[in-house]
Amino acid sequence: MSYNPLQSVNHQHHQIYQNEDPAFNQSTGFITPAKPAKHTSKWIKIGIPVAVLVIAGAVVGGILGSRKSSSSSSAAASSAAAASSASAKIAAGVFATATNSEYMIPIYPSTTNTALYTTPTFNSAVAGWPSDPFAPATPSVLSVRPDRPRLIAPAYKWEALPALIASDPYLASWNASIFNNASQYDALPAVVYFMDGDSGILDVARQVKQRVKAFGYVYRMTNNTHWVDRTWEELQNAAGNGTASTWAQAPADDRWNSAHFLDTAGGYLLGSSKRSLALRDVAELSAAYGIAYDWLYDLWTDDQKAAILATLIQYGLGPGVQAFTNSSVFTGWWANNIEGNWNCVCNNGLTMASLAILGDDPSGFANQLLGLTVNNAKENCAFAVSDDGTWSETNDYWYFGTTGHAEMAASLLTATGSDYDLLTVNPNFYKTGLFHMYGSGATTLFQWGDNGPNKYTSTANSLLFYANAYNQPQFALFQRDQYDAADPWSMFWYNPQISGAFWDGMPLDHAFDNSTDQWMSMRSSWTDPNALYVGIKAGTLQGHQTHNDLDVGDFVLDALGTRWAGELGDGDYLSPYYFSNDTQGSARWMYYRKMTEGQNTLLLGATNQDVTAKPTMQSGTSNTTQGSSTVFTPGSDSTAFFVTDMTSAYFNATSVKRGIRLLNGRKQVLLQDEINASTSIMWRMHTNATVSASGTSATLTIEDKTMNVSILNAPAGATFATSAAKRLSTDVTPPAPDQDNPGVTVLIISLPAGTYNLQVLFNPQWNDGTSFVTPPSVALDNWSLTSHNSS
């Protein structure tokens, strides 16, 4: 895919791509981006709406078959269509009718609505954002827009917002939630300082940022200075000032914890005599200060501005400069070849704060940092995304990383008129939206590896920004119904011209084949909360910022609205050597939740997988797409499969292959392992279910739901057993005790050394008259889309 959205992103942030009709690619799930609009002069822009109306008219009129064909609709018909489209949008309201309370997933009505549930698109006939009057011909990071705010929400957007709220049900609902949230925070005391072993002061830093965003938003929507005073209270508090501040207990020379606790306790720097400048807590507080300074700029007195600057420079930007430049400290390790969320968060916080104070900064640090952070993020943060879109840390760290990346790109764009290629330096970055969509199961994430600290301000709302920046409207259509969508950023990142349903035309399956992760997502529906979902991975065991597990072959399984095979998540980040390294001997791999034993895969010789594993993968999909309706039943031959040769992950094995596939119109799952090993073999799966195992079958129950599991063509001696989710007695003792895994049972098949074809069939008890099939036995090398067809 060769395109460079950047020129247009820079100058016409919310008007990109409207002049060409995007083509939805049903096999990739991506919309082929239209050619970027050149930087247009004012008089050319006037001409665009007419062309846009013609396209919109064609879409609204339901002429979907051949969207590339030119339309001859008259202008009158087009405006009528535009008006009806705008009122239809208000009448439709928010698509999701509720949020599931256990998994926090949106619940869609079971209905067909061919007028609304259409191909994702930006419908220019509906009211949208005006274009940014600030469009410098030669942008520079040190040359900021003349008006305030600079960060994410420029004045022209605040002016346009009330009218857009009135005409958009999503903006209206988020606006109301943000007001409600601000009132709730208002009633609480200023954020109480808490040094948490696992995450330093990251949680409280993010709470300060969350409040500043909400208070700033409500002030600007009401002009009620109560919110300015309340913001000031939080800023003073986080500086350790005032008699009541609980932050005064933090060291006066490093109140924002520039040396993150994890560096020493969790093991990054065990044995190092140098001081580390980890800065993630610093970065989040710097961002909060930057937003407060910028959004309420005209409201602060000169004394208040000076006080904010002094604190920000001392605790934020000062350590930031040190982290980049001082070789006497362990300069921010996150700045050196660290392709992960930490790099995004640190560079972003320092960038937002620097942009906010540029021109007022007595220290010169803002100038200095802007000369460093943008290039550093382009080299590191941007490459946390593999060329298939996978966030190479984990599905969970995607939230932190993309929030930092999107905030940084958006702030640079609004403050200076360019993102300096941060959005495009990795040409595959845009695919990370699909990574999140496919990584989201029918219940929860395919949450392999570590799951990290609380999210607070780290949401999935980067998708609203990326939808527009990369012309992938399905990203925003997916995110706008999620529980975390009500966020001040969403008010400015959301393009209200979006229309359609994300699931319309969305392939059910997607294989991610970069060798770093190699994983696949398969499901029976995008909108049925009871859908079948399988996620499975192979991938290398190094190159994940030490956030992964030894988990080649690991899988999760959802059906009937619950998770049957799941992950244990992160261990205690404070456990000694938890993050020491990812070599074979690392103590990280002695912790149950990180070792192979703690994964839903094969354990050979009661020994961890080989960290140098280089598995391979193959996959197939019927390319089934969900149509317009939320009510969808795949055809009986609709299927997907994933096969990995994971021999290289094991010691003392000649061959180890694992395959998984959907059967019977995506109602059943077959997991097949072909093993030739000279060591003991153990098949393991972790489940929250109550398990009743007998011989070659097991019945799993969660509440009133049942899953039958059986071993097909069982090799001699292959029977189910269960155990608690605890280390084997033969394991080495880790440096600190494991966490308990309450309620989790391990379903196990144990076999001696030998050659086996082990087939396990999962039959969720749908209770809808589904009759189950018994699949034929087919060698993994012969698996194809039709190899298991019935009849």
Ligand X SMILES: *[C@@H]1O[C@H](CO)[C@@H](O)[C@H](O)[C@H]1NC(C)=O
**List of residues contacting ligand X (CB under 6 A):** 27, 162, 165, 175-177, 179-181, 184, 221-223, 235-236, 239, 241, 275, 307-308, 310-311, 322, 326, 328-329, 383, 385-387, 444, 486, 514-516, 563, 566-567, 577, 580-581, 583, 585-587, 605, 607, 622-623, 651-652, 654, 676, 679, 686-688, 699, 708, 744, 755, 763, 772, 785
Cα separation, 559 vs 56, in Å, equals 39
Buried b (16+ CB within 10 A) or exposed e, 657-695: bbbbbbbbbbbbbbbbbbbebeebbbbbbbbbbebebee
Minimum separation from the CB atom of position 291 to ligand X (A): 14
Work out how close the CB of 95 gets to ligand X at its nearest, in angstroms, rounded to a whole number.
17
Q: How many CA atoms lie within 13 A of 600 on its CB side?
A: 29
- C-beta of 67 vs 455, nearer to ligand X: 455
**Nearest distance in Å: CB 131, ligand X:** 19
Cα separation of 682 and 591, whole Å? 18
Give 280 or 588: the residue with its C-beta nearer to ligand X: 588
Minimum Å gap between C-beta 410 and ligand X is 22
- Helix, strand or coil, per DSSP, at residue 126: coil
Burial 395-426 (b: 16+ CB within 10 A, else e): bbbbbbbbbbbbbbbbbbbbbbbbbbebbbbb
Q: How far apart are CA 233 and CA 472, in angstroms?
A: 40
Q: How far is the CB of 514 from ligand X (least distance, A)?
A: 4
Nearest distance in Å: CB 75, ligand X: 31
CB of 427 to ligand X, least distance (A): 9
- Integer angstrom CA distances of residue 366 from 274, 313, 519, 595: 26, 9, 41, 44
Q: For ligand X, which is the closer residue by CB, 117 or 129?
A: 129
Alpha helices in 326-461 (DSSP H): 341-357, 365-379, 397-416, 432-439
Closest distance of CB 770 from ligand X, Å: 9
Q: Is 117 or 391 the residue whose CB approaches ligand X more closely?
A: 391
Give 396's contacts (C-beta < 8 A, 6+ positions apart): 445, 447, 449, 450, 451, 452
What is the DSSP annotation of 250-265? S-TT-TT-SS-THHHH
Cis omega (within 30 of 0) for bond into 735: no
Total residues belonging to the chain = 791
Q: Which residues, other chains included, contact 160 with Cβ-Cβ below 8 Å and sequence gap of 6+?
A: 129, 130
Q: Could you tell me the smallest distance in angstroms from the CB atom of residue 62 to ligand X?
A: 26
Please say which residue, 6 or 178, places its beta carbon nearer to ligand X. 178
Kindly tell me which of 64 and 425 has the beta carbon lying closer to ligand X. Answer: 425
Which residue from 719, 399, 685 is spatially nearest to 557, judged by alpha carbons? 685
Question: Among all residues, whose Cβ is closest to ligand X?
Answer: 566
- Closest to ligand X by CB, 73 vs 402, is 402
Supply the DSSP string of 29-65, one letter for each residue.
-PEEPPPPPP---HHHHHHHHHHHHHHHHHHHTT--T
Q: Are 617 and 518 in contact (CB under 8 A)?
A: yes
> Which of 131, 699 has the CB closer to ligand X?
699
Helix, strand, coil shares, percent, the chain, to 5: 35, 15, 50
Closer to ligand X by Cβ: residue 177 or 368: 177
Q: How far is the CB of 235 from ligand X (least distance, A)?
A: 5
Residue closer to ligand X by CB (options 288, 409) is 288
Closest CB 69 distance from ligand X, rounded Å? 23
Burial class (CB in 10 A: 0-12, 13-18, 19+), 65: exposed
Q: Which is nearer to ligand X, 60 or 357 (CB)?
A: 357
